[in-house]
Amino acid sequence: MVNHKRLRDSFGNAFKGLYRLLRDEQNARIHVVITMFVFASAIILDISRLEAAILFIAVILVFSMEIINTAIEELIDHLHPHKHETIARIKDGMAGAVFISAIIATAVAFLVFYPHVAALFNR
């Protein structure tokens, strides 16, 4: 049996977390702007469903890494508020993971969009 209050609370917590992420993290807001540009381009260029799914997965990869990065940073800052070399390495590693996911998403977008953009100029 579904506990509607717990389900509603779970969704509420998820939305609260996303709101805080977008409010507090500049990079998350940048990801949103780029995502809107990517999705608008996908509609304008009339990409296939498979291409759209691939782009969606790439975008979700970046957002997921950003959410994990933010959560780990906040946990570390809470547990160890003072600067420490090991903590700095952990934070740098997480930032690197977000950066790599963004590079991969950019490469995926290029691979998806290039043939469509090239076709526009070869008409």
DSSP string for residues in 78-93:
HH--S--HHHHHHHHH
Q: Quick one: pLDDT at residue 2?
A: 80
What's 63's domain CATH number? 1.10.287.3610
Q: What is the pLDDT of residues 7-33, one digit of tens each?
A: 899 999 999 999 999 999 999 999 999
| 1-10, 27-36, 41-50, 55-64: least confidently modelled range | 1-10
Q: How much is the pLDDT for 122? A: 85
Domain assignment of residue 104, given as a range: 4-121
Q: Residue 59 to residues 14, 73, 96: CA-CA distances in angstroms?
A: 18, 21, 16
- Structural domains of the chain, count: 1
pLDDT, one tens digit per residue, over 68-119 is: 999 999 999 999 988 889 999 999 999 999 999 999 999 999 999 999 999 9
